[in-house]
Amino acid sequence: MNYQFQFDAVFAAWPLLLKGTWITIQLSLVATLLGLLVAIVCAWGKTSGPAPLRFVINAYIEVIRNTPFLVQLFFFFFALPAIGLRWSPYTAALTAMVVNLGAYATEIIRAGIESIPKGQIEAGRALNLKGWEIFRFIIIKPALKAIYPALTSQFILLMLSSAVVSVISADDLTSVAANLQSQTFRSFEIYIVVAGIYLALALAFSALFKLIYQRALNYPDRR
């Protein structure tokens, strides 16, 4: 083995890497927030909507969960523009991520809603609480607590799989790495540093989520 590692070119490009990291974080956060909105609507439709709506939502969830994210991305970036919908790589990537996360989060939220024992809601009614009071004091905290671990790990999975959007050059961290790689030919050094950044992001976010859980949701319950 007589390869000379040269990290200079990689570290010289740190402003670009930092910008790419920020775009990756931004894409993941925005996609998660919008995806959650989609998921809340779909979870409502799936648990208490009419039968045709339930069918459509189920089809959406199954199609997204049983096809690769890369193919979904190609569909949004190449196929939809062919029928007249033109958008930038960034918007296409964000849309694909929202649609993807929405499907996974629907199932998570539905499970959260169903985890609240009916007796607790009935007890709330018996105490003459109004609808929003039941939601505020009885449903929301245990439901959040039930879905929190699954939701946060879904966020980290989404952030890691967002590396795939680099194939349509959506300016994220991996796109920056691919550009640097073609300019400097230091592919191994660049990808190892970028993999390190992703690992740091994943660990930092999971530590942050743990902290939030301990501060806000860590109370004893019946289970």
Q: Which of 145, 163, 169, 217 binds other proteins (CB under 8 A)?
A: 163
- By CB under 8 A, which span of 25-33, 45-53, 92-100, 188-196 interacts with other proteins? 188-196
Q: Which of 53, 121, 167, 217 binds other proteins (CB under 8 A)?
A: 167
Question: In this complex, which beta carbon is closest to other proteins, that of residue 58 or of residue 144?
Answer: 58
Question: In this complex, which beta carbon is closest to other proteins, that of residue 29 or of residue 129?
Answer: 29
Q: Is 203 in the site for other proteins (CB under 8 A)?
A: yes
- How far is Cα 68 from Cα 84, in angstroms, rounded to an integer? 24
Question: In this complex, which beta carbon is closest to other proteins, that of residue 44 or of residue 69?
Answer: 69
Question: In this complex, which beta carbon is closest to other proteins, that of residue 147 or of residue 175?
Answer: 175
Q: Any idea what DSSP says for residue 127? A: T
3-class secondary-structure state, position 121 = helix
- How far is Cα 24 from Cα 42, in angstroms, rounded to an integer? 26
Q: Footprint of other proteins on residues 43-82 (CB under 8 A)?
A: 62-63, 65-72, 74-75, 78-82
Question: In this complex, which beta carbon is closest to other proteins, that of residue 192 or of residue 216?
Answer: 192
Let me know if 149 is exposed, middle or buried by CB neighbors in 10 A (0-12, 13-18, 19+).
middle
Q: Is the dihedral of CA 203, 209, 215, 221 positive or negative?
A: negative
Report which of 91, 90, 109, 92 is spatially closest to residue 37, judged by C-alpha positions: 109
Q: How far apart are the first and last CA of the chain?
A: 56
- By CB under 8 A, which span of 35-43, 111-119, 120-128, 155-163 interacts with other proteins? 155-163
Q: Which residue has the tokens 């979870």?
A: 43
- By CB under 8 A, which span of 14-22, 30-38, 89-97, 157-165 interacts with other proteins? 157-165
Question: In this complex, which beta carbon is closest to other proteins, that of residue 148 or of residue 161?
Answer: 161
Give the total of residues touching other proteins (CB under 8 A): 39
Q: Is 161 in the site for other proteins (CB under 8 A)?
A: yes
Return the amino acid letter for 214.
Q
CB 213 within 8 A of CB 146: no
CB 108 within 8 A of CB 151: yes
Give min distance, CB of 109 to other proteins, in A.
Answer: 18
CB 64 within 8 A of CB 133: no
Binding site for other proteins (CB under 8 A): 1, 3, 62-63, 65-72, 74-75, 78-83, 160-164, 166-167, 174, 181, 187-188, 191-192, 194-195, 198-199, 202-203
